[in-house]
A and B are shown apart, each in its own frame.
Chain A
Amino acid sequence: MSPADRHQDEWADAVGAYLLEALPEDERAAFEAHLEGCTTCQEDVAMLRVASDALPASVQQLAPPPELKGRIMAVVRAEADLLAAASGPRADLPERARDRGWLGWLTARPGLAAAGVALLLLVGGVSGAVMSGGEDGRVVTASVAREVAENATAKLVIHKTDSKLEVTRMPPPQQGRVYQVWLKRAGVKEYEPTSALFVPRAGGDGSVSVPGSLKGVEQVLVTSEPAGGSSTPTRDPVITADTA
């Protein structure tokens, strides 16, 4: 059997199944790996894609319910506002960061960190309350979970209104995740979510504003959460700062 015949046997018929998404998971992965380096299969895929791409046009066309658009756009507008608040003019971003799409640069990407973009995000949570008392500028050393980073440090600089959490040598969260700041209030069991989400700069340094007053707050905590943040923590804290 010639190599070409063997190729025919092994892969040629997989092209159709691949385009129809009918390959079982392991076979699909194997085929995609093969496809990377096989121009014959690449050409086949490009040629037959014309047919598989046309299939959706054959179905009866229905109008999606308007509420669906409302739900999707509510999320999109909220995230666009968050982005605008966080980034200022997009034009200021390095080309590489822009190329990743906005969520790409909100979340941890090694390449992005290398681009030197500080991903510090402060949104919402504007507390108009004028605070009484409190030692302005007091610094509290926070503990960092050893399994996250042996050398990382974190400290909380407490101000009357907006306090600041500063980290050094903090590794980025896993891909697709961000660090989120939480508040533990006296007498309240649950952590209170904040809108402070952040990803450290390359090198692990960074700071994030903790909006509002820390009055009545016992601890400021940080967990790794899916991009966009969570309403209740999904992971154990990686940073814990006791305010007392």
Chain B
Amino acid sequence: MALLRKAPRDGGDALGALADEDLMQLVRGGDARAFEAVYERHSGVAFSLAYRMCGSRNAAEDIVQEAFLSIWRSGARYDRARGSVRTWVLGIVHHRAIDALRRSTVHDRRRASDEGIEERFESGERTDAEVARREEARTVRGAMETLPPEQSQVIELAYFGGFTHTEIAEMLQTPIGTIKGRMRLGLEKMRNQLRMAEVSPS
């Protein structure tokens, strides 16, 4: 998908010039510097996702640490036929964050930054890659905004809140089948929006 295309990296060393997939090949062989390059590229979006889901800096750090160490130790499981390294990394982070949320006894898991760290940790717009990310974020947010509220709501609660469809159905006092239908419809619509954005970038 063009939206997730890799932007050229800063830094002049040889590893910096390698594509993610080639770096993963080296990581698989136990190359710590290749792993570091992968971390540099994807830790920002990974941390941001974890923080968005947990709302706590400590929890987000734990999740990112667990996820990247598992990536380091099981690099062999990356299969380039199934998608980009970034998507794979984020899938692992998301899964770990969901686990953490479901393990936690805190009843209200809904978002909220408990530490007000946004300003402090806001990443500056320094590299080409970051500029490309901002552009991508705008496109994805735009696509989400086109969804009917009841669809974006269930996607938010599920993907970022870590709630199961059963929990969401209870929360919204709506049948599970309806909730599942909204999830699917929402994703379909988003996909179509992203496809259009890809064809004609704004």
In A64-95, the 8 Å CB interface with B consists of: 64-65, 68-69, 71-73, 75-77, 79-80, 83-84, 87, 90
B72 touches A76 (CB 8 A): yes
Q: How far is the CA of A75 from the CA of B45 in the complex (A)?
A: 21
- B174 on interface, CB distance cutoff 8 Å: no
The prevalent SS among residues of A at the interface is helix
A residues 3-62 in Cβ contact with B at 8 Å: 12-17, 19-24, 47-62
The answer to the question of A98 belonging to the interface, with a C-beta cut-off of 8 Å to chain B, is yes
Q: Assess A23 versus B165: contact at CB under 8 Å? Given A50-B194, A57-B136.
A: yes
- Does chain B have a CB within 8 A of A101? yes
**CA gap between A58 and B52 in the complex, in Å:** 10
Minimum Cβ distance to chain B for residue A82 (Å): 9
Cβ of A99 within 8 Å of any chain B Cβ, yes or no, is yes
Query: Taking CB as reference atom, which chain B residue is nearest A9?
Result: B177
User: Which B residues lie at the A interface, using CB under 8 A?
Assistant: 1, 3-4, 28-32, 35-36, 39, 43-49, 51-52, 57, 61, 64-65, 68-69, 72-77, 83, 87, 90-91, 93-95, 98, 117-118, 121-124, 130, 133-134, 136-137, 139-141, 143-144, 155, 158-160, 162-166, 168, 177, 179-188, 190-191, 194-195
Residue of A whose beta carbon sits closest to that of B151? A16
Which of B30, B65, B182 has a CB less than 8 Å from the CB of A68? Answer: B65
- Alpha-carbon gap, A64 to B69, bound state (A): 15
In the complex, given contacts A50-B195, A72-B68, A98-B29, what are 19 additional A-B residue pairs having Cβ atoms less than 8 angstroms apart?
A17-B183, A20-B187, A21-B94, A22-B159, A22-B183, A49-B83, A51-B187, A53-B4, A59-B52, A61-B134, A62-B123, A64-B64, A68-B65, A69-B39, A72-B72, A79-B72, A101-B73, A102-B73, A103-B74
For B182, give the chain A residue with the smallest CB separation. Answer: A16
Whether A16 contacts B187 by the Cβ 8 Å rule is yes
A-B contact count (CB 8 A): 204
- B30, B64, B95, most chain A CB atoms within 10 A: B30
Q: Pick the contact of A63 from B123, B179, B182, B183 — CB < 8 Å?
A: B123
The interface of chain A, by Cβ under 8 A from chain B, is 12-17, 19-24, 47-65, 68-69, 71-73, 75-77, 79-80, 83-84, 87, 90, 98-104, 227
Is A59 a contact partner of B180 (Cβ separation < 8 A)? no
Known A-B contacts A17-B165, A21-B94, A22-B163; the reply to A58 vs B76 at CB < 8 A is no
The interface residues of chain B lying within 8 Å CB-to-CB of A47 are: 191
* Complex CA–CA separation, A73 to B27 (angstroms): 13
A60 and B52 contact, CB distance less than 8 A: yes
Partner of B47, one of A19, A48, A62, A227: A62
CB of B178, distance to nearest CB on chain A (Å): 9
Q: B194 to A72, Cβ gap below 8 A?
A: no
- B45 partner, pick from A19, A20, A61, A77, beta carbons under 8 A: A61
